[in-house]
Amino acid sequence: MYQSGDSMLKMNDILDEKDKRLREKSEEVTFPLKEEYKKVIKDMIEFLTNSQIEELAEKYDLRPGMGLAAVQLGIKKRFFVIVHEYDDGKFDNYVIFNPKLVSNSEEMIYVGEGEGCLSINRKTCGIVPRYARVTVEGYDENGTPIRIRAREELAIAFQHELDHLDGILFIDKIDPKNPFKNKELYREI
């Protein structure tokens, strides 16, 4: 399991898809939040932010990533972090504990270039159908209830990280016999 410390979170701290822990369902977080989790969250935000800034990603040898679930660091708890670059060099951070998808659009979308994951270190092709809009409820670091509405790529990130908490990887949603099956039913983003 990843231990938060003085050194920065690195790519090799993230579990690879072959690690069986990624297939396990994560457990609810209890409050007050452990100090260890607060430190891990800080590390996750720093890692995800740096990974999206080209010069820093190169300097620290990071693959770009928008989200990270605790289980990807070997912590089997229901929380994740999303760092969304909404404008060039400007980021919004989302940290949510015990998240639940409470509503979604009927419209389905997919990432045209293909979805990616920091735990999957190989090229993958295919359509991963996702809701275009979602509402997620959960708790912030203080145990206060929060509700987040997300659209487009941010909605995809929330669904991707929610799946991690249930032991599901995005590659599970791609039809191996026909990776672009039903493409006409979904809108590409």
Whole-structure pTM value: 0.94
74 Cβ contact list (under 8 Å, min separation 6): 1, 2, 15, 19, 21
pLDDT digit string (tens) for the chain, length 189 residues: 566 655 678 889 999 999 999 999 999 999 999 999 999 999 999 999 999 999 999 999 999 999 999 999 999 999 999 999 999 889 999 999 999 999 999 999 999 999 999 999 998 999 999 999 999 999 999 999 999 999 999 999 999 999 999 999 999 999 999 999 999 999 999
Phi/psi of residue 186, nearest 5 degrees: -125, 155
Rounded Cα distance, 108 and 131, in Å? 5
In the chain the domains, ranked by start, together with CATH numbers, are 11-188 (3.90.45.10)
* pLDDT score recorded for residue 7: 62
List active site positions: 161
Print the SS3 string covering the chain.
Answer: CCCCCCCCCCHHHCCCCCCHHHHCCCECCCCCCCHHHHHHHHHHHHHHHHHHCHHHHHHCCCCCCCEEEHHHHCCCECEEEEEEEEECCEEEEEEEEEEEEEEECCCEEECCCCCCCCCCCCCCCCCCCEECEEEEEEECCCCCEEEEEEEHHHHHHHHHHHHHHCCCCHHHHCCCCCCCCCHHHCEEC
* pLDDT score recorded for residue 151: 97
* pLDDT score recorded for residue 8: 79
* pLDDT score recorded for residue 1: 59
* pLDDT score recorded for residue 57: 93
**125 three-class SS:** coil
